[in-house]
Each structure stands twice: as structure tokens, then as C-alpha cells.
Amino acid sequence: MEESRKHISWFGIALIIFGTAILLQRLHVIRVGFEQILWSMLMLVGILGVVRGFSRDRRGKIFWGTVWFLVGLFFLLRSIDTIEFRAHMFPPAMFLIVGIAFLMTYLNNLRDWYILIPAFILTAIGGAFILADFGYLSQWEVWEAVRMYWPVALIFLGAGLIMRRKMRMPSNPPTA
């Protein structure tokens, strides 16, 4: 019975904040657009998911909370024109976002080193494409590198799965 009192509806709190922000905007108390409120709320929901995931040791909440937070941040920055993000930058940003989400999952349990494999692969791919879009790398060289070396990702993922399996197996199996 006490546990039901401790449970807070974060979605309910998010709706209250969202509704309050829209009302204050319509009453001309604050000057923000609907998109900015929406993306800020997505960031809030994401960060709450990450905090709950770390406090309860839940990988899924950490992963998806990080994804929602960073997607909200991407679109918030795009909506307030802080950084020039064009629509074609979303796929490379998603590679980067998912890579960072894997990294956050790894930070929850440092023994799960195999999670670093997709984290580094996705972060590197997304980062390379974003750097190419900003003109720091050649777009064609990045595409050529991805086309040529994508099987390396399969090799690393396979090796990670094998090593993960070996680490979970007991060293001395019980005898009957």
C-alpha cells in the first residue's frame, strides 16, 4: 500500500508542465513556440527515463531515455535556430544518438564492455557523416570508407557476442 503512494505519474507531471507552458504562451507571459515546448518536454521525459533507469538498474529505460532526450535536443536546437541543422542531417544524428545511448547503457554497468562495440561503431559513423556535412571531411571519402569497411562492424559485433557468451559460462561446470 505504501508503494502506491510513492509512485508518481511522470507523464501526468509532463502534461501539467506542457499545458502550463502553452497557456502562458497564449496569455503572452512567455514567448516560445509550440515546437520549443514540445521538444523541451521530450527532453524532460527522456532525462527522467535516464534517471529512473540508473536508479533501478534498467538498461532499457537508460537507452530509450537517452534517445528521447537527444532527439528532443536535436529538434529543439533546430527549432530555435541555434545551430543550422538541415533535414538530411537527421539520419547521421540518429547514428550518433543511438551510439551515445549505448554508451550511457554501458556506464550503468561497466562490466558489460561488449556494449561499447555498437556504441563506438555508431558514434563513429554518425560523427563522420556530421563532420562531412559541416565540411571537415569529404562526403565521398566517408561514404567510401563506410562502403569498404562496414564488414568490420559485423566482425566486432560477432566477436563481442562470442566473448560475452564465454564470460557468462561458468569456468568449472558442475559434475553429476
Dump pLDDT digits (tens) for 22-46. 888 788 887 777 788 788 888 988 9
Whether 25 maps to a domain, the answer reads yes
Tell me: pLDDT of 18 over 70: yes
Residue 126 and residue 76 share a domain:
no
Whether 175 maps to a domain, the answer reads no
Q: Assess contact for 10 and 45: CB atoms under 8 A.
A: yes
Residue 55 and residue 92 share a domain:
no
Residue 130 and residue 51 share a domain:
no
Residue 132 and residue 91 share a domain:
yes
Q: Which of 63, 85, 107 is the last residue of a domain?
A: 85
Whether 156 maps to a domain, the answer reads yes
Nearest 5°: CA angle at 64, between 145 and 75?
A: 70
Tell me: pLDDT of 2 over 70: no
Global pTM reads: 0.72
Residue 76 and residue 101 share a domain:
no
Whether 174 maps to a domain, the answer reads no
Helix axes 59-79, 34-56, angle to 10 degrees: 160
What's the Cα-to-Cα distance from 4 to each of 1, 16, 35, 43, 55, rounded to whole Å?
6, 21, 34, 26, 18
Residue type at position 161: L
Residue 74 and residue 4 share a domain:
yes
Query: Average pLDDT, stretch 54-60?
Result: 91
Helix axes 59-79, 90-108, angle to 10 degrees: 150
Dump pLDDT digits (tens) for 64-86. 999 999 999 988 888 887 677 77
CA distance 155 to 158: 5
Residue 28 and residue 62 share a domain:
yes
Residue type at position 175: T
Q: Assess contact for 96 and 127: CB atoms under 8 A.
A: yes
Q: Which of 85, 117, 143 is the last residue of a domain?
A: 85
Tell me: pLDDT of 138 over 80: yes
Residue 94 and residue 55 share a domain:
no
Please state the φ and ψ torsions of residue 137, each to the nearest 5 degrees: -130, 160
Sign of CA dihedral 71, 72, 78, 81: negative
**Total structural domains within the chain:** 2
Q: Which of 66, 85, 104 is the last residue of a domain?
A: 85
Whether 176 maps to a domain, the answer reads no
59 Cβ contact partners less than 8 Å away, ≥ 6 residues apart: 53, 105, 108, 109
Residue 31 and residue 95 share a domain:
no
Q: Which domain holds residue 51?
A: 1-85
Residue 27: all three cell numbers together: 496569455
Query: Average pLDDT, stretch 122-132?
Result: 90
